[in-house]
Amino acid sequence: MNATIEALHTEFGLTPVMAAEIECYVMLPEITQEKVDVFFEPLALAWKEAGVPLLRIEKERGHAQFEIVTQVSTPERLAAALHLIRSSIEEAAKAQGHNVSFAAKPLAGQPSSGMHLHLHLADSEGINAYHKTEEWVSDALRWSLGGLLMKLEEQLSIFFPNHRDYARLSDTDHVPKTAGWGVNNRYCALRIPMNEDRYDKRIEHRVPCANADPAAAITAMLDAVLFGLRERIEPPVQEYGKPTTSLLESLSALTPASE
């Protein structure tokens, strides 16, 4: 990871700024605000004391499913924070007699769990290099998207550490269905969240599962971005709406072109 961060800085004058959302199931006896607070409030206090850049903890769509969202941070600090978040939730649940799971698809009929990684690149003055209007996408953003998509297939084993994790892709909604990118499109592997400021964009990598190794997944994302910048990889056209293919099917048809 450190070598890639250094290369981004020395070769392009850019610094990665990252955040994450990680989902899990904690089988509390009752899913009430009181029970949720009893379990998560001590954890949140401990995380903040440990320097975790915590933004919020919220209930997710699945029964007993929760999402922990971080603030922006450095890649190294984010990787350490995600490891701590996951291990401390598991330890607290075990101590209190609750089942917990960060598996990609722990329960049939319930939503899957992902670890969504958010990234933008800042220049020497701290200004975001990811820009997009309706007609134009900055070089840094385009080539980052291109590199991430070009490297996606070979990095799948990092994002899906177990073969059974691929069951996550069978979910109907809120999982990547195409090896493409789109604005506020949760069916894309790479989503650009909605933001009216054209000079303040970020990439959300939606492919990693919640049980992926945080440091490995973050490193893979940064490596792909560096590759895209070095080779000036152009991404495919923007995706709109819900695709008809699966992520794995769309990978075989993906052919980003270099400049």
Instruction: Report how many domains make up the chain.
Output: 1
Rounded to whole angstroms, what are the CA distances from 15 to 121, 129, 130, 253, 258? Answer: 5, 10, 12, 32, 23
pLDDT for 255:
57
pTM of the entire structure?
Answer: 0.95
pLDDT for 254:
72
pLDDT for 252:
79
Of all helices (H) and strands (E), which one includes residue 222? helix 214-231
CATH of the domain at 13: 3.30.590.10
Rounded to whole angstroms, what are the CA distances from 158 to 115, 148, 165, 246? Answer: 12, 13, 11, 19
In sign, the C-alpha dihedral spanning 115, 121, 127, 128 is negative
pLDDT for 61:
94
CB atoms within 10 A of CB 48: 11
pLDDT for 258:
43
pLDDT for 259:
43
Sequential pLDDT tens for the chain (259 residues): 999 999 999 999 999 999 999 999 999 999 999 999 999 999 999 999 999 999 999 999 999 999 999 999 999 999 999 999 999 999 999 999 999 999 999 999 999 999 999 999 999 999 999 999 888 999 999 999 999 999 999 999 999 999 999 999 999 888 999 999 999 999 999 999 998 899 899 999 999 999 999 999 999 999 999 999 999 999 999 999 888 788 998 987 775 444 4
pLDDT for 6:
98
139: containing domain: 2-258
